[in-house]
Amino acid sequence: MLDLRSHVSRIVSSANQLVVAPGDFRAPRAADAMAASWRRCMEGYRFDPGAKFRIEAVSEAELKQQRQANDELIHFARPEIDAIFGAVSLSGFSISLGNIDGYIISERANYNPEFYSEVERPGTAWAERSAGTNAIGTCLVERQPVGVYTNDHFFYEFSALSCASAPLFSPDDELLGAINISIRNPELQRETLKVVLGLTSGLADRIGERMFRQAFRRNYILKFATGPVDHGLIAVDDDFQLVGLNHAARAMLSDRVQLARVRSLWAVFERDHRLIDLARLGGAELTLHLQKGGDAITVSLSGPTEVASAGSRPAASAEPAARPRPTPAPAPVRPSTSLLTLDDCAGSDPRMATNVRFVRRVLGGSLPILLLGETGVGKDAFARAVHEESPRRAAPFVAFNCASVPDTLIDSELFGYGSGAFTGARREGSPGRLVEADGGTLFLDEIGDMPVSQQTRLLHVLESGEVTPLGSGKPRRIDVQVIAATNQNLEAQIARGLFRQDLYYRLAGAVIDIPALRERTDRRELIEAVFASLADGRRLSLAPDALAMLMSHDWPGNVRELRHVLNRAVHVCEGAELTARDIAIRTGARAPSMPAVGVPGPAAAASDAMAPGAEAETAGSVRHAIAAAERDAILATLARCGGNVKAAAVALQLSRATLYRKLQRYQIVH
């Protein structure tokens, strides 16, 4: 272990000698990973390696909120952590779980004072931008396993620690956090840390597999090795259509499959006659060959662990012809005359199922809920379903759209007013929506459009539990469950001064991200359910060409647009079968190519055409203007980032998968 002076000298000289591309502090080679991180710390975060440093930590209340927000991750990680802890704890190691922001949210430790470090307790902040080079923070930046040995830490304060972290990815390849094994032992050998790094990577692989198998429990899963401890997982349906790939499979097959375009397993592997009937091969191990003369890969096949509905999938029999095809999952949408339940909203989509499980854990209290999602995904229906399943269901559900009421009237409409408060006011006054919702639920739709002046009043009400109507000095105590919703990026609104940060934290007690229709794995069932509800008893079927058109459409207006399109189609359909001719969307027309990034064409190019999969609208329409603005923003951001898609995704606050989809939608060459 180096002394302070040697530690600082090593970090500064190594970081300065690192050769990197302009604007990119990442190392081109794995051997330079530490130097790249040190350089980020000095040039990106403006840290001093010789400075005294105190680790940041959140309060117990904030830690509780972070644990609630990561409840599913903790649930899946705990059994794997428990299984390995006994072995590593004998040598003094602790195991901790970090979330996407680098905060430790859970740990297993024997708290031996010889090896345990208090600076790694739950609630401490280990993002690289907060604590310099460290295993959790640097792993989250690099998105790959990282071992940080004693003086590899940027700050000398942590030079007695050695840590190994590996990233954790969701079933749809979103980074969730990192698993970390660490020890405070200045005498630890570097070779020992390399062994621990392997254990950590294997632990992350098993946690990821647990999550993936749960998400795709109704599908067949192919598993194959992609490294010494890593495994690729591919989920397919009965028709050999790709349903999901985990992070390792995507990385290995990135040049062979893009889920946005390729759906068949046989577009990745050469067709194998043994896989005619998947149900008969559950648990089998076989060799498949990658397409176009690719390598042979040994895969193990496992069958579904849960059927779509009770009795819908019988056990595999010896006679494949006797096995009926599974029935569809329960319809996630009811007719419009019925209220949706939370199970209806979830359907069979794994992300929505996770959302529902989380919401049910917080029902009954007064914890605010913030719903995020694009326009038309059903945030209002989800909010009402939350109310109907909560203990408040006998009390009022009051909805207030912050964007549909003029700024000058929000005050009186939301907070109420007393008798004679202003010219034109009702003589008896008005209680306001907050008071109307007393004992029940207040749904604040389009909260991102609320004027800042009214945000201040709303924050006061939420914190005090009292509302004072305009023109009245008498405050009234209220008890409401607040559910807010927006399709805007509130963090970006905060940065521009258009939304109060303290109000955001007050509303974001439980944050639910509702996926767009095009991202839902149960899109087909949802389309069929909406169609059945709109058929209204008519013996009307959906032709294969109509279903194919509906499945291929990008649905920028989501479920609302789907209902509108199908409602029109049902009314114009003259026969007993609704065909593609009855559907008024244009999914097949190709548009002129968009200019390449870095060579933007004139602004008019954005309104000249929309790419396949986007709603083809006439120039000047609202949807066309929104799409054109989105395309321009993506082009500008990519240009600033030198064409780096990953950096652009971070700047736009989008996942890389979402950004790639939008690049394809707008035909942006990068």
Tell me the per-residue pLDDT of 117-143, one tens digit each, with 9 for 90 and over: 889 999 999 999 999 999 999 999 999
Give me the pLDDT at residue 590, please.
33
Tokens 């390598």 locate to 295
Give me the pLDDT at residue 214, please.
92
CA distance 317 to 155: 62
Query: pLDDT-derived band of residue 293, with 50, 70 and 90 as boundaries?
Result: low
Q: What is the mean pLDDT of residues 440-455?
A: 89
Lowest-pLDDT range of 64-68, 293-297, 393-397, 549-553: 293-297
Give me the pLDDT at residue 643, please.
73
Lowest-pLDDT range of 189-203, 230-244, 275-289: 275-289
What are the distances in angstroms from CA 414 to CA 433, 456, 478, 503? 5, 13, 13, 16
Q: Are 161 and 93 in contact, with CB atoms under 8 Å apart?
A: no
Query: pLDDT-derived band of residue 618, with 50, 70 and 90 as boundaries?
Result: very low
Indicate whether 605 pLDDT > 70.
no
Nearest CA among 71, 328, 342 for reference residue 218: 328
Q: What is the mean pLDDT of residues 54-77?
A: 90
**Collapsing DSSP states into helix, strand and coil, what is residue 279?**
helix
Give me the pLDDT at residue 341, please.
86
Nearest CA among 266, 492, 528 for reference residue 372: 492
CA distance 28 to 500: 40
- Work out the mean pLDDT of the chain and round it to a whole number: 79
H runs (alpha helix) in 159-292? 190-215, 247-252
Give me the pLDDT at residue 332, please.
36
Q: What is the mean pLDDT of residues 569-592?
A: 72
Query: pLDDT-derived band of residue 428, with 50, 70 and 90 as boundaries?
Result: low
H runs (alpha helix) in 573-621? 605-608
Report the interhelical angle of 71-89 vs 190-215 (nearest 10°): 140
Query: pLDDT-derived band of residue 152, with 50, 70 and 90 as boundaries?
Result: very high
Give me the pLDDT at residue 126, please.
94
Q: What is the mean pLDDT of residues 358-365?
A: 79
Indicate whether 647 pLDDT > 80.
no
Query: pLDDT-derived band of residue 411, with 50, 70 and 90 as boundaries?
Result: confident
Domains and CATH numbers, the chain: 4-204 (3.30.450.40), 216-306 (no CATH), 342-513 (3.40.50.300), 517-582 (1.10.8.60), 605-665 (no CATH)
Give me the pLDDT at residue 31, please.
47
Q: What is the mean pLDDT of residues 359-374?
A: 84
Query: Which amino acid is residue 306, in one-letter code?
Result: E
Is-above-0.85 flag for pTM?
no
CA distance 656 to 650: 8
More confident call, 562 vs 663: 562
Lowest-pLDDT range of 78-87, 276-285, 368-377, 632-641: 276-285
Indicate whether 30 pLDDT > 80.
no
Query: pLDDT-derived band of residue 423, with 50, 70 and 90 as boundaries?
Result: very low
Give me the pLDDT at residue 336, please.
35
Lowest-pLDDT range of 209-218, 236-245, 312-321, 428-437: 312-321
Query: pLDDT-derived band of residue 617, with 50, 70 and 90 as boundaries?
Result: very low
